[in-house]
Structure 1
Amino acid sequence: MNDLDSEKTSFIDLFCGCGGFTKGFSEAGFSSVFGIDVWKDATVTYKHNFPNSVAFCGDIKELSSGKIFELTKLKKNDIPLIIGGPPCQGFSVAGKRIVDDERNKLYKSFV
């Protein structure tokens, strides 16, 4: 492991937003090492909230695992947990339920 926080189980957060899921996992004793979101303001806030984690602003469809390992300086087995909240506005009861919303397919990137 690297020096981010070797005492806690590391995780990465896909579709991290400002870090709501990360906050809960951090309070449960886990350590965020990487978060990605396409919304720049969210990743700026994520970095502020989790200064020991890499906050990456970009399209998840263009991100490789190799890039994550390069940015975090971790190895494959150093990340046992992946969390995330892919967008659901296009099909959620609370959303606009637009069938053709391109974000509806982003859950596949999470998988």
Structure 2
Amino acid sequence: MLQIYGIKNCGSVKKALQFFDTHNIPYVFHDFKTAPVNEEKILSWLSKSNLSVLLNTKGTTYRTLNLKALALNDNEKIRWMGEHNLLIKRPVIEYGDQVIVGYEQSHYEGIFLS
């Protein structure tokens, strides 16, 4: 079963959940605000995705924490993501042996409706 990680009020997460609901694809939703993920989970995602994809450098949390000014190395970025899950681009979907980050309808159609 799909495991979807994000926050309920995120636009991309809402679109993803609507996609799965519309196509009757079952999933389990994990809300970062009520059930944060740790560095171990993030590292498991990074074994199947890239840090540049998973770290949301365009979000409010990244700007508020002023992380760009800190010139962090990859390990430090992962530590920050573990402490502040809202730095993770959303949604993160675990599907079989894949990790899919973000929402793009045509990409979802190719993966989940084929």
TM-score (norm 2): 0.29
Larger RCO (CA within 8 A; separation ≥ 6): 2
TM-score (norm 1): 0.30
The structure with the largest helix share of the pair is 2
The structure with the largest strand share of the pair is 1
